[in-house]
Amino acid sequence: MKTKIYFLFTLLFYLQICQGQNEYSFSQEALLGQSVPRFYSTSVPLLPEVGKAFEKMQKAARNAGIELEIVSAYRSYAQQQSIWNRKYIANAKKGLQPEENIKKIIEYSTLPGTSRHHWGTDVDLIDGSKQRNGDVLLTEKFHGDGPYVSLRKWMDKNASKFGFFRPYTQDPDRKGFYYEPWHYSYAPLAIPMLKAYLKLDLNRLLIPESLEGIHAVNPEFLSQYISEHVLGIAPNLK
C-alpha cells in the first residue's frame, strides 16, 4: 500500500508522457516545487535522468582531478519561501524599504515558485577536493586565484557534453539574476519544463499571503520579473 501511495505521489511531481512523440508533460505542482520528486539517489537529489547524466559528468571530472560536489540541487517551494522571508526580514532590519529590499533579494534569490531548482534539473557545484572556507558560492572563488577556478574551466569545456549549461552567464546583454558560475541546468529536461512553466497562470499562483513583502509584488513587478529573471537565461536553455 505504501509503495502504491508513493508511486502516485511521485506522478504528481514528474509525469513523463507521450513517449512515442518524445514529449513531456509536467504537473503544476512539479513546476512550482510543491511536490517531491523521485530522486536519482539520496546523495544526488535530482530527477533520475538528470542524476544519471550528472554521475557520468562527475566521473569524467574526477578523472581530471576535480571532485564535483553538490551544494544545492532540488529545492522545494517551502524551502525557497523560507530563504526569501529570511532575507527580506534581514534586509528590513538594515532599513531597506520594500521595493529596494526585493530588488536586493532578486540579485541572486528567486521568488518561491520561480526557482529552476524546483524542477530537479539544476545544481550548484563546487570542487569537493578543495578545503572549504566560509561561503562557497561566491563569484570570486571561481575566478582569479579562487579554489574553484579549475572546476569552472573544466565545466566550460565539458559540461555541455553531458547536457549541462550555465543559465546565469556573464553575458552583458543578459538581464535578471547576477552571474552564477556554480549553477548548471540539464537542458534536455529543463527546456521542456520551462515551456510548460510559462503556460501556467503565474499572476494567480506566485503571490502567497505568507510571503514577506507581498504588497510590493504586484502584477507589474511580476511581469517584469518573469521577463528579465525567469527568462534572463542563456539562449541554449530556452
Residue 150 lies in a domain: yes
Q: Which domain holds residue 206?
A: 41-237
Residue 136 lies in a domain: yes
Residue 53 lies in a domain: yes
Contacts of 37 (CB under 8 A, 6+ apart): 10, 13, 14, 30, 47, 74, 120
- How is residue 99 written as a grid cell? 521595493
Write the CATH number for 141: 3.30.1380.10
User: Which single residue is written with the C-alpha cell 534569490?
Assistant: 109
**Rounded Cα gap, residues 168 and 229, in angstroms:** 10
- Whether the pLDDT of residue 8 is over 70: the answer is no
Name the CA radius of gyration of the chain, rounded.
18
- Whether the pLDDT of residue 6 is over 60: the answer is no
**Rounded Cα gap, residues 130 and 150, in angstroms:** 11
Per-residue pLDDT at 17: 35
Handedness of CA 82, 84, 85, 91 (dihedral sign): positive
* Between residues 228 and 22, the one the model is more confident about: 228
Q: What is the pTM of this model?
A: 0.88
**Rounded Cα gap, residues 80 and 70, in angstroms:** 17
Residue 33 lies in a domain: no
- How is residue 73 written as a grid cell? 540541487
Which percentage of the chain shows pLDDT scores above 90? 83
User: Which single residue is written with the C-alpha cell 523521485?
Assistant: 38
Residue 30 lies in a domain: no
**Rounded Cα gap, residues 165 and 72, in angstroms:** 16
**CB atoms < 10 A from the CB of 145, how many?**
7
Structurally, how many domains does the chain consist of?
Answer: 1
Q: How many CA atoms lie within 13 A of 145 on its CB side?
A: 0
C-alpha distances (whole Å) from 159 to each of 6, 138, 144 are: 33, 20, 21
Residue 116 lies in a domain: yes
Residue 34 lies in a domain: no
* Between residues 11 and 110, the one the model is more confident about: 110
Geometric angle at alpha carbon 183, from 13 and 6, rounded to 5° = 20
Residue 16 lies in a domain: no
C-alpha distances (whole Å) from 2 to each of 9, 109, 133 are: 10, 36, 43
Q: What is the pLDDT of residues 39-65, one digit of tens each?
A: 999 999 999 999 999 999 999 999 999
**Rounded Cα gap, residues 66 and 129, in angstroms:** 7
Contacts of 11 (CB under 8 A, 6+ apart): 27
* Between residues 16 and 117, the one the model is more confident about: 117
